[in-house]
Amino acid sequence: MTERLKGKTALVLGAGCVGEGWGNGNATAVTFAREGANVVCADINEGSAAQTAELVRREGGKAVHVRADVASLEQLEHAAAVALEAYGRIDVLHNNAGISVRGGTLDSSEESWDRVYAVNARGAFLACKAVIPHMQRQGGGSIIHVSSIAAVGWTGHALLSYQSSKAALNQLTRMVAVQHAAEGIRCNCIMPGLIDSPRIYQTILPVFGGDVERMRASRSQAVPMKRMGEAWDIANAALFFAADESKYVTGVVMAVDGGITCSLPH
């Protein structure tokens, strides 16, 4: 352990995991804690947030949990207040919360479109709105959003609201970065590629008729590296953006995808 985040407090939104194992949220929360950060684990599923906080504490780290729906400014402000009460500051805002609903132009409902945007795009805006004033008073901080390679190209599935909302998140990242750069507040974004996490077994596996090996083989074949990534790959990218090594990096949208975006048509 190098303690690259010693003395820092990280508020991780979407810190839970939809199933057993390591997803982007809980892996990032644990990675931050392993590097010395105090971690506030927030998730719409409070039980899942509590499980992540417990994982941190089992390793000797410091963590508390809170329920928060990122579509609610009130709940995000409460999560920020919990962080301040527990640790006195918020140095890192990590926005991992996101949802997807299958559907294209004609078969997506207005209701599903609005909910996906409320979480993926509006939720990130509200999180910034809730946390940036505290970072301004501190003299700086790091905001990290989690987007998707679906924001920049077709990935074989009709997920129009997800794809377009993640594209909006990429641009939100850049504009927040520029607006708050002089205040010492950085904002960067990670675009995960095909990650072997518990979520895909709920959202993607049905497309393959429940055939796990066929799903894994198909997704691995689509990657230039010929393998899916792990949640730890996303967590390590987040660690770079959270740590002082990236103190001159802002407005970056970084693919962590084994080279997929390099091979997409331009």
Give the active site residues.
Answer: 162
* Site of tokens 């429940």: 210
**Alpha carbon of 46 to those of 156, 211, 252: distances in Å?**
33, 31, 31
Q: What is the DSSP letter of 71?
A: T
Contact 253, 174 (CB under 8 A): yes
Cα dihedral 236→225→145→265 (10° resolution): 160
Instruction: Tell me the two tokens of residue 42.
Output: 């927030």
**d(C-alpha 75, C-alpha 8), whole Å:** 22
> On the CB side of 183, how many CA atoms lie within 13 Å of its CA?
20
**d(C-alpha 47, C-alpha 66), whole Å:** 9
**d(C-alpha 186, C-alpha 181), whole Å:** 6
Sequence-distant (≥ 6) Cβ neighbours of residue 240 within 8 angstroms: 246
> On the CB side of 140, how many CA atoms lie within 13 Å of its CA?
11
